[in-house]
Amino acid sequence: MRVGLIFTALVAASPVAAQIPAIRVGETVTGSLTISDSLYPDSSYFKIYQFTAPGPRDTISIDLWSDDFDPVLIVRGDDLDNSIIDDDGGPGCSARISRAFPGGDTYRILVNTTADPVKQTGRFSLSITRGPKPVQAARGNADCEPPQRPTHTAAATTADTTAHVIAIGQAQRGSITRGDFLRTSDSTYAQAWTIQGRAGTTITIDLESDAFDAYLFLRGPGITGGRDFQDDDSGGNCNARLTASFPQTGEYEVVVNTADHYATGTFSLSVTSGSKPKSVARCNRSQ
């Protein structure tokens, strides 16, 4: 279990406060961690929420639970010397932080997971209640049985167990299938390819397919979203081309995606060093 880790550069490049969803004391929100969320250097996904503390004399309890992954709670604030982190402070494998905050300020809650199993995703519930709750001591939660990777259909199992890895200077061929991850936000399938990045290194990623309108994006440490790390048609003929520089050294994901709902088919993916110009050819696949 990952208890006590301090993420010193956790949200240095996070979205501005107005873009972070808020949760109030007395409220419960539900959501999902997906491969569309941001990645830590340890390759765990996270979502960010914000709340306003009621006052320095008011204890509140923050609870995070999930049946799909092993939750980790992280709270950060400008008036906190260090991040407040909890793994198994609540019942079962749930995370819980119960304490008073200086009050009046806005704090950030990061919904996170343990690093093992790697890249956990799934549904969660996050709540803030007024008053104290018991918090179990670190590593003292004997009733925690972390969820295992779910059993998928045969097609999904094949996709999950295949190591999708690419390096700078390589070209790979693959296929988007119905066994890949389905993004509920836009009903498209996505397939992640791992690549090792060095801070400051510029690469160009090309995704080409005759079967679908190619779309790709790059995820990893130091990337919190934005148009600079995704592309649709810059490769010409509905192919994607993305030139980007790694913000940090670490493991990244090149996500092969489509611009079409539920599209599948074969593709070629290549990564080259340096930059390439964008194509001015418009995407036109009308039959």
Per-residue model confidence (pLDDT) at position 116: 84
- Please tell me the total number of residues recorded for the chain in this structure: 287
Q: Which of 130, 162, 187 is the last residue of a domain?
A: 130
Q: Are residues 117 and 210 in the same domain?
A: no
Percentage above 90 pLDDT, the chain? 47
Token pair for residue 63?
Answer: 């609870």
Q: Are residues 165 and 264 in the same domain?
A: yes
pLDDT band per the 50, 70, 90 thresholds, residue 12: very low
pLDDT band per the 50, 70, 90 thresholds, residue 16: very low
Q: Are residues 88 and 21 in the same domain?
A: yes
Q: Are residues 268 and 159 in the same domain?
A: yes
Q: Are residues 168 and 221 in the same domain?
A: yes
pLDDT band per the 50, 70, 90 thresholds, residue 67: confident
Q: Which of 78, 97, 130 is the last residue of a domain?
A: 130
Distance CA 8, CA 187 (A): 35
Q: Is residue 26 pLDDT above 80, yes or no?
A: yes
Per-residue model confidence (pLDDT) at position 10: 43
Q: Are residues 92 and 162 in the same domain?
A: no
Kindly calculate the radius of gyration of the chain based on its CA atoms and give it in whole angstroms: 21
Distance CA 232, CA 241 (A): 7
Question: Is 247 within the bounds of a domain?
Answer: yes
pLDDT band per the 50, 70, 90 thresholds, residue 62: very high
The pTM of the whole model exceeds 0.85:
no
Distance CA 259, CA 236 (A): 14
- Answer for the pair 190, 260: CB distance below 8 angstroms, yes or no: no
Q: Are residues 96 and 162 in the same domain?
A: no
pLDDT band per the 50, 70, 90 thresholds, residue 203: very high
Question: Is 263 within the bounds of a domain?
Answer: yes
Q: Is residue 242 pLDDT above 80, yes or no?
A: yes
Instruction: List, in sequence order, the alpha helices (H) in 127-269.
Output: 154-161
Distance CA 138, CA 116 (A): 17
Question: Is 96 within the bounds of a domain?
Answer: yes
Q: Are residues 261 and 169 in the same domain?
A: yes
Per the structure, the count of domains in the chain is 2
* pLDDT, greater one: 8 or 59: 59
Tens of pLDDT, residue by residue over 71-86, are 999 999 988 888 999 9
| CATH number of the domain that residue 125 is part of | 2.60.120.380
Question: Is 148 within the bounds of a domain?
Answer: no
Per-residue model confidence (pLDDT) at position 99: 94
Among candidate residues 246, 254, 250, the one with its CA nearest the CA of residue 42: 250
CA 111 to chain centre: 10
Q: Are residues 176 and 121 in the same domain?
A: no
Q: Quickly tell me which residue has 């304490």 as its tokens.
A: 99
Tens of pLDDT, residue by residue over 100-143, are 998 678 999 999 999 888 888 888 999 999 999 999 876 555 55
Provide CB contacts within 8 A for 104, sequence distance 6+. 52, 53, 55
Distance CA 203, CA 139 (A): 42
Q: Are residues 120 and 32 in the same domain?
A: yes
Q: Are residues 183 and 85 in the same domain?
A: no
- Answer for the pair 197, 220: CB distance below 8 angstroms, yes or no: yes
Per-residue model confidence (pLDDT) at position 268: 95
The answer for 142, left when phi > 0, alpha when psi is -120 to 50, beta otherwise, is alpha
Q: Are residues 170 and 262 in the same domain?
A: yes
The answer for 265, left when phi > 0, alpha when psi is -120 to 50, beta otherwise, is left
Cis peptide before 277 (omega within 30 of 0): no
At 75, which helix (H) or strand (E)?
strand 71-76
Question: Is 25 within the bounds of a domain?
Answer: yes
Question: Is 239 within the bounds of a domain?
Answer: yes
* pLDDT, greater one: 99 or 5: 99
Question: Is 7 within the bounds of a domain?
Answer: no
Question: Is 145 within the bounds of a domain?
Answer: no
Domain of residue 263, residue span: 154-273
